[in-house]
Structure 1
């Protein structure tokens, strides 16, 4: 497989940005089976829990609906008014069931992908009106998956209902020989068992469909490597821009460092490859501090600035290299180099005192002579 073909395959998981944009457009994972099962199971459980109270309300409603007083309503307005009042009482009687079903219908989508309201999903899309796209939806993988789900739904629900009826067949036949009230009670009990069996089958189907829908949603949002690179470039900036920013930051840091060189007491050099500028203020600093450091071209610039501002430049290759390796800009020098740097500063201070006389000579410094504590 060629590199171009691999680049065109959607093999990369969607980024947070892509997932967020999909949700903003109303594209979130949805499972019809989960929503249907949630509402149906909630309704069955509500009926089981509130059957007594709703049954009493229904009986009271029937008594009011079939009351002899209804025959006294001889005008259309009176009849319509009574019908409206009876409808309201019926809705109030079953309002707990309605509330439970509405709550289940809202909770189920929230469990899958959250509640998302988007106007973009309601906007007309010409692609949906394309006949070729419609044909692909009818004969594609999505259509096959829906067909399989429909077959599973019929199989699950039909099997559960069939087993329930088969187990209760003898009891159903015996209802004909029972008093009316007992027959109604047993019939309602069997109906509840049938509804519970159906709810269990629908819940099992939803447990299969919900993970599949989540997986399929993520699969559709997968990205090609080129899309991933393009998004990273847009969100984090192109390498060229980031390189330019780093270059500007480095230039700003070097400019500030060069401005600090004139305040240094001494610049230790290699003499050409390394340069480290040190500053020490007795009483304010516990140890000499590095105000500038650099190699090669930057070291040359530090020397030039130091020469231009009459800052002492001392050639000590071992000490210059050690300071460059072990010190940081704006930080104090390492403890083990205290004594070596103290000799240099002593020489610089003597140099300042003898500017009008002969220049003092500084003895060579071997930093290996000094221990970890900064002493010989």
Structure 2
């Protein structure tokens, strides 16, 4: 299967990048700068979107603040709204200039910048969130993630078990490996409780564009979709669109039930703090080099360390469906179990995974087709 690919996210306006760099100290949980005599170790977090987006970046920010509380000798500095361009390098350099010894580059498209920066700064541990590296790792670099498709499939069960039209809507940004795996897992999860459920796609070609999200949600609703979900960094717009139309929603990245308790079914939410703490400790105690985080680290349900967990249930999910979803989650904690366990077919009927086959994480993240039951096609670029 083809190697996992990196698709850069589009760069934001220069003014936004400048504002992000200026906020790198303003968002600190303690003093806005580190003096040469400071005893605290500076740990930096670079984010592509707003720390208050009710989604991906808010989950990162929440994890960074929990880290600051759990490790009193650590000073956290953050920079948000940093586009996937050389602005990432500038933000990281600004943090190093303030004494940063550990930097978390948390956006998918930050990968090449983070790896290059690590090579140029061997005294700083740089880790990337959601990337993948083949070959030799720099001694001070690593990637980390969670098997996102596992909890996403549970959200698919909630959608499939509550839809009245049998049509589910999926708003996504780019056809990268993570997204394809999540779309397929969502549909396979829905099929577990509703074999006739279909997932309709609209892509926005942007990780957080409220206008495009609103248009995508409207297009899906006009096709009869009555449950919406998304693979976007920010999810407020999609939730609001579902609420306005009286539809249901499955979240991703962050538990946003408070935005619409009745329409919210469930979702996936990142609990990054334990991972951030473990990585920071390994960097500070000298065990990072050659350790599990100096590689492609992935948390899973089976290992009971998946940083992406099942979000809370909304009031519209009946108790029997909640029980089915929880049972499915427990099943995913067992060996030789996967939502992708074969037989699984692509849209065109070709066999993706044969009967009884349990694909590896690498296989799943190399999938380049949509599974049978997904309606729509992947953009060519």
Normalised to the residue count of structure 1, the TM-score between the two structures is 0.19
Is the helix fraction higher in 1 or 2?
A: 1
Is the strand fraction higher in 1 or 2?
A: 2
Q: Considering only CA atoms, is the larger Rg found in Structure 1 or Structure 2?
A: 1
